[in-house]
Amino acid sequence: MAKTTVVRTTAKSKAVVVARSRAIAKTEPVSAKKKVGKTRNPLDPVRIAAILDALRKTYPGVVCALNHRNAWELTVATILSAQCTDVRVNLVTPALFKAFPTPKAMAAASLPELEELIRTTGFFRNKAKSIQGAARVVVEEFGGEVPQTMEEILTLPGVARKTGNVVLGSWFNIAVGVVVDTHVMRLSKRLELTKETAPEKVERDLMKIIPQDRWIAFSHELIHHGRQICVARKPRCVDCTLEKLCNSADKTWSSH
């Protein structure tokens, strides 16, 4: 089973990442550009390898940021993370799992009870229906155990490919796809790894250019990089490991 250690973002950890990023960036190659916002050959295997290498060095051993002790808890936490921060989910799930520690217990819970426990994650009514529905399917169709194939896990209410990839990759270490959340979407566009806007299409593009043995770690690395450095507004390009490899039009600082 996958380890449940969580990487917490603190002021100290951010400082460590920044220092490591700046040191790594000094040795990275420069991606030639046609013009602002356009890399000459963005999908060049050499460039892709450099991006992967820089991310691996910056976030060694990075894991899922959602607290969980088993596959079921990770499934629920990921469903709750839709339109919500991982920090908020991690504040909510301890009480939720204390009250309803198993799929069987959650399946038997009342919706008002579930709704009250997850209220602060947003869209709590729909999420309560989803996690209870997923619990019932896990109990009735899979003997109380979260299934280990994408086809089966997608039968759980509230579970789409993102959640399926998170659970299969982070808990079972099964790489069937690439997790595409808002961070992965944003960074993939900035790095010109895709021109698509739909998560499923972005995932297909990434699966074509990223080696399968890097699918799981790559997602975690991009997610952490998106939270700490390549943020949505005013990305911290001066602190970015990938700055020399990136020619995004919305860069806030450039060395080349």
Structure tokens at 145: 């155990």
Structure tokens at 101: 């520690």
The residue from 86, 127, 162, 251 that is catalytic is: 162
* Cβ–Cβ < 8 Å for 109, 91: no
For residue 177, how many C-alpha atoms fall within 13 Å in the half-sphere facing its CB? 23
* Cβ–Cβ < 8 Å for 222, 184: yes
Burial environment of residue 47 by CB neighbours within 10 A (0 to 12, 13 to 18, 19 or more):
buried
- Kindly list the distances between the CA atom of residue 183 and the CA atoms of 11, 26, 48, 230, in Å, as whole numbers in the listed order: 20, 24, 18, 9
* Cβ–Cβ < 8 Å for 96, 120: no
The residue from 86, 181, 239, 244 that is catalytic is: 181
Does residue 250 have an active-site annotation? no
Q: Given the structure tokens 């399917």, which residue do they identify?
A: 137
Q: Tell me which DSSP letter residue 250 carries.
A: T
- Catalytic positions are 162, 181
